[in-house]
Amino acid sequence: MLTLSQILGLHTRSIDFTLAYMQALIDVDIYLKLPQGLDVDGHRSQYILKLKKNLYRLKQARLSWYKTLHDHLIQQ
Query: What percent of the chain has pLDDT above 90?
Result: 1
Report how far residue 70's alpha carbon sits from residue 57's, in angstroms, rounded to the nearest whole number.
Answer: 21
- Inform me whether the pLDDT recorded for 76 exceeds 80: no
- pLDDT score recorded for residue 71: 87
The model's pTM is 0.53
| Alpha carbon of residue 2 to chain centroid | 26
What mean pLDDT is reported for the chain? Answer: 80
Judged on CB neighbours under 10 Å (0-12, 13-18, 19+), 24 is buried
Tens digits of residue pLDDT in 13-45: 776 666 777 778 888 888 888 777 777 776 666
Report how far residue 51's alpha carbon sits from residue 30's, in angstroms, rounded to the nearest whole number.
Answer: 6
Domain map (residue ranges) of the chain:
16-75
